[in-house]
Amino acid sequence: MNQGGKIEYVVKVTGTKPLTITWYRNETEKLKSSARMKITFSQATGDAKFLVMEADAQDDGPLKIEATNAAGSVSQSSYVTVIRKLLVDLV
């Protein structure tokens, strides 16, 4: 992912409802929607979406989604690599 580009994951989640979806950065930092990040989950379709409008260095690293219901929880991990723009003065 290039710095400044979009990061988007869409995960299809199935299981006995109700389901709770939690996204994590670096295994422990719970992520929430903000001005730059949108996190949604539709119980009806099972679509869990994670979107960052403009990727930057803080988005680099492990990303995990965890689905939980009365039966327990399951998770899936990925790794986001943000390719930073180099600013170089040519003399």
* Domains observed in the chain: 7-80 (2.60.40.10)
Q: How confident is the model over 41-67, as a mean pLDDT? A: 96
Among 56, 12, 14, 52, residue whose Cα is nearest residue 36: 52
Alpha-carbon distance of 49 to 8, in angstroms, equals 7
Residue of 26, 14, 33, 31 whose CA lies nearest to 74:
14
Task: Report the pLDDT value the prediction gives residue 88, as an integer from 0 to 100.
Answer: 66
Q: What is the pLDDT of residue 2?
A: 87
pLDDT in tens, 4-49: 999 999 999 999 999 999 999 998 999 999 999 999 999 999 999 9
Query: pLDDT of 73-85, one tens digit each?
Result: 999 999 999 998 7
